Amino acid sequence: MAAASGELPVVDLAPFFSRDDKGGMARAMEAMREACQTHGFFRAVNHGVPAELMGRALELSAAFFALPDEEKAKVRPAAVKAAHLPAGYARQPPHSADKDEYLLWLDPKLGFNVYPAEPAGFRAAAAECYGKLTELGLLIQEMLNECMGLPPGFLSGFNSDRSFDFMAALRYFPATEEESNGISAHEDANCITFVIQDAVGGLEVLMDGEWVPAEPDDDDDSIIVNIGDVIQVLSNNKFKSATHRVVRKKAVHRHSFAFFFNIHGDKWIEPLPEFTTKIDQPPRYRGFFSNDYQQLRLRNKTHPPAKPQDVRITHYAI
């Protein structure tokens, strides 16, 4: 399904659940291939995540964030040495009194999560969302594998460890006269990201030098999907990890869920032969371990690099 000017492309995933519409599957695949090459973002519809579940999870998330700070503080993360991320409640930036806040979960099977007691049903809704978005990630990864022209099952074997995925419920504070950015312009470091958002909106994607709104669509209960730096590097820049941001609105909080379909920290990342030697193209990036890149991203937040090329994935560009 083509996108109008200034709109995100739309990919209808319904044929992948019925499995009897080969033409529809082919059209969805082509729409996704084009979206990943041009925008790096698309709007997924008929994606298998129940609209009722998404709405309930957003409502319960808003109820949690409306609790007094002392109640939310009860689910601040404890030190978890075995986990790569501290699950629980936090603010961004840390220790701020009036900045954006989030509640982060890892795979529920790992046992690292810190769940709030209130509101009732929040834990169950979060766990169900986590499971459904994991299933969606596996489907999108399968589609990406074909879109990239890789051997069948390559990405599922390359990225088979799901213990590095995580999901965050987020609340963005209203814009002030001094500041409107909730999340400044950036690209995602992972493989695939899914965003479920309330009616407030504010997500924007940089396209040809202009910010394109990725507003919620009440008619189709869509999920916003974007590919991250790992896919951009594997594809040697053929698929795009797009710059995006969140712009706060005045007098209203924004609530969303973001699910990050990640890759294991010990995995070696470099442009694949299908995009380099097999088509006589030079690699655009030198190889790196995924965890090294994650550490670079963390350092850049606290110690911005002196050289512009050392920002984010351009640090590895050739």
Tens of pLDDT, residues 99-125 = 789 999 998 888 888 889 999 999 999
Nearest Cα neighbor of 271 from 136, 164, 150 is 150
Residues 6+ apart with CB under 8 A from 25: 15, 16, 19
- Specify the pTM: 0.93
Q: Categorize the per-residue pLDDT at 1 as very low, low, confident or very high, splitting at 50, 70 and 90.
A: very low
For 231, phi and psi rounded to 5 degrees? -70, -40
pLDDT band at 76 (very low <50, low <70, confident <90, very high): confident
Report residue 140 CA to chain centroid gap.
12
Three-class DSSP category at 72:
helix
- Per-position DSSP letters for 194-261, written without gaps between them: EEEE-TT--EEEEETTEEEE----TTTT-EEEEE-HHHHHHTTTSS----EEEEPPBT--EEEEEEEE
Query: Which residues lie closer than 8 Å to 3 by C-beta, 6 or more apart?
Result: 9, 10, 35, 39
**Cβ(170)–Cβ(191) below 8 Å:** no
Of the pLDDT bands very low, low, confident and very high (cuts 50, 70, 90), residue 2 is: very low
Q: Are 156 and 145 in contact (CB under 8 A)?
A: yes
Strands (DSSP E) contained in 80-230 are: 88-92, 100-106, 166-172, 181-186, 192-197, 203-207, 210-213, 223-227
123-141 mean pLDDT? 97
Mean pLDDT for all residues in the chain? 90
**pLDDT digits 0-9 by tens, 231-253:** 999 999 999 999 999 999 989 99
Task: Provide the pLDDT confidence category of residue 170 given band limits of 50, 70 and 90.
Answer: very high
DSSP conformational letter for 13: -
Domain layout of the chain by residue ranges:
10-273
**What is the arithmetic mean of pLDDT over 48-74?**
95
pLDDT of residue 142: 97
* Residue 3: band (very low, low, confident or very high) from pLDDT cuts 50, 70, 90: very low
pLDDT given for residue 216 in this prediction: 77
Matching CATH number, 10-273, of 3.30.365.10, 3.90.700.10, 2.60.120.330, 3.40.50.11540: 2.60.120.330
Closest C-alpha among 246, 159, 188, 217 to residue 12: 217
Instruction: Answer whether residue 94 shows pLDDT above 70.
Output: no
